[in-house]
Chains A and B, each alone.
Chain A
Amino acid sequence: MKLLLIFDSGLAGAGGKSNPNCELTAKKGMIGTGEMLAPHFNKIGGTVIATLYCGVEYFKDHQDEVVKKMTAMAKKLSPDFVVCGPGFNFPEYSEMCAMCATSILENTDIKACAMMSQENSATIETYRTKTPIVKMPKKGGTGLNNSIENLCELIDASVNHPEKLEEVKNKYCY
């Protein structure tokens, strides 16, 4: 199963607050927080083919361009699933996750989801009907590992077991 990750520069290991204007970048394979997710992805037979990222300030200044280009890149790479997150309680990055996942679902045939903590209530409220948003703890909260397992269940259901998808969504998404 081919997976594509959409991160911010912090999660990508390219410096978060120290590199907020980092432009749109695409790297083959997994980087940064991808290392933390990889063992879980392996369990469902998932491999990260590429990671796309940019800085949060860059996203704030170029929202339309970022969403459009992330969507186009997803279409070009044609993965089985796009993970936009984990957004933790980072407000700008979580919004980017929700917007990118929504755009990919609306404009391509690729499956996607966002992932963030409940602190992003406005973003969750706006996008929860447009894209699955997997629940997770805020930065430093309890249950991170668990939420990654839930994300994997959602990916697996979306790609391999569509009959289970609604049930999984109801269980793990907002």
Chain B
Amino acid sequence: MFDKLEKALTPIADTLSKNKVLTAIRDGFLVTVPMTIVGSIFLLIANFPIDGWSEFIASFAGEGWEAYLSAVTSSTFDVVALTGVLGIGYAYAREQGVDKIAGAVVALTCFLIVTPKSHPDYVNEAGKAFSGFSFGNLGTAGMFLGMITAIVSVLIFSWAMKRKLVIKLPDGVPPAVMDSFAALIPAAFAMTTFAIIHGIFKNTSYEYAHNFIYEVLQAPLVGIGRSNLFEVTYQFLSTLFWFFGINGPAVTNTVFGPIHKVLTQENLDAAKAGLEMTNIFTAGFSDFFCNYGGGGSTLGLVIMMAFLGKSARIKQLGRLSLPAAIFGINEPIIFGLPIVLNPIMAVPFILVPVLNTVTATIATNIGVLPITSGVQLPWTMPIMFSGWLVTGSLVASVFQLAQLVMDMLIYYPFLKMLDKKYLEEESLHADETDDLDDLSFDDLSFD
């Protein structure tokens, strides 16, 4: 059965993880992660989940101190489509084998070409309408258009580059000057195309590409992300791939990543606007309520290995793996226990993240678990801290502990099975006496 399943999954994993467009989108958004994490820290300081925090800081920093921090959060979250375009443009140029930074800048420019610049509805006291780029178009709502623009513009750019539609300068011209002139005609192709696209949309009821893509693509896709099956499907597929040694999230994030990102951003936007947050399946939910200790939610398993394991192998591996497991890394046991291709561990490894997701979803729906705020924390954030910071409530930390106990209960019988097997092997080896006993590198001869 495993063979058949692997044969079915491998081509899917290959197609998704080797697809240049999907890889560029996944890697391009990764470029924005450090900025959004730093932005989240500023956001957390401004809204630290302790009663009286704001007043306490105001007592020495003055009223309205949060505004200083919002300069950072705004410059990361409110322009996430803009930084995403740069990242995706760069990553796709890399995939296409053309000048990466030129590709990134062309993508950014093309995105700005199709972005609204005049806002007749926003008029100041002097009666003058706002002219410029608005956060509304550069942030969450522009993310899918950003992805499409980056891919199409770099595709046109690289097409022209590869067909040598470039201006050649004589030898001896400095390379930086040579590169910028080489990019000129390809950039002109891309920019003209987007100017035409912009012109076409101006003459439709949508007015802008932003409105069109948001309505026909982003809203429906993100709608799928709000369905109850979204997260469970993501978690199930991610661990299923891992079981066969394939990096699950690297495959699944090509499809699920952009939707997670938008769902997370939407909650953040809602919170900033003082509206109710409605998206359950944010990146924070996925990282901190579905998996503890890495893929397969193995933290509970590692704790039991360290403290309940009877065989020397299980005990030693558990103790060595525990520090990394607390920070969400389970590589030592993935290959050391092992979990990959180990039929005994297949059931809990795939089942536990699914059950975590189902229970956390139900708990959020019935109001026990507070909704995640859209704050983006490093996925290595330890259990309890992560729950508290991502929801602002200690209830979430308690819920995480309860899930950890549930994970342990599910893993326990399977661990016992494995532990018993290893223990038998160890005692068998202890009983047998042959020339393989007392293997030691100390008494070797080197003739």
Contact = CB atoms under 8 A, between A and B. Distances in A.
A72 B6 contact: no
B336 A14 contact: yes
Contacts of A32: 313, 317, 335-338
Interface string B1-35: 00100100010011001000000000000000000
B425 interface: yes
Interface residues of B, number: 38
Interface in A120-140: 137, 139-140
B441 interface: yes
B323 interface: yes
Nearest to B345: A35
Interface residues of A, number: 37
Question: Of A18, A50, A139, A142, which is in contact with the most chain B CB atoms at under 10 Å from its CB?
Answer: A142
Contact of B444 (A12, A19, A69): A69
B337 A13 contact: yes
Contacts of A19: 320
Interface in B308-344: 313, 316-317, 320-321, 323-324, 331-333, 335-338, 340-342
A68 B441 contact: no
A19 B318 CA distance: 13
B246 interface: yes
Contacts, number: 110
B336 A33 contact: yes
A29 B441 contact: no
Interface stretch (B146-154, B216-224, B370-378, B432-440): B432-440
Contacts of B320: 14-15, 18-19
Interface in A4-28: 10-19, 24-28
Given A15-B332, A26-B439, A36 B317 contact: no
A31 B313 contact: yes
Contacts of B317: 13-15, 32
A110 interface: no
Contact of B245 (A11, A69, A145): A145
A141 B250 CA distance: 10
Interface string B175-187: 0000000000000
A33 B338 CA distance: 6
A44 interface: no
B445 interface: yes
Question: Of B336, B429, B437, which is in contact with the most chain A CB atoms at under 10 Å from its CB?
Answer: B336
Nearest to A72: B444
A174 to B, nearest CB: 20
B244 interface: yes
Contacts of B337: 13, 32, 35
B247 interface: yes
A17 B335 contact: no
A77 B436 contact: yes
A24 B444 CA distance: 12
Nearest to A25: B441
A50 B436 contact: yes
B437 A16 contact: no
B419 to A, nearest CB: 13
Nearest to B340: A36
Nearest to A144: B245
A91 B445 CA distance: 30
30 contacts: A10-B335, A13-B313, A13-B317, A14-B317, A15-B332, A17-B324, A17-B331, A18-B324, A18-B332, A28-B429, A28-B439, A32-B313, A32-B335, A32-B337, A32-B338, A35-B338, A35-B342, A36-B342, A50-B436, A73-B439, A73-B441, A137-B245, A139-B247, A140-B247, A140-B250, A142-B17, A142-B244, A144-B244, A145-B6, A145-B244
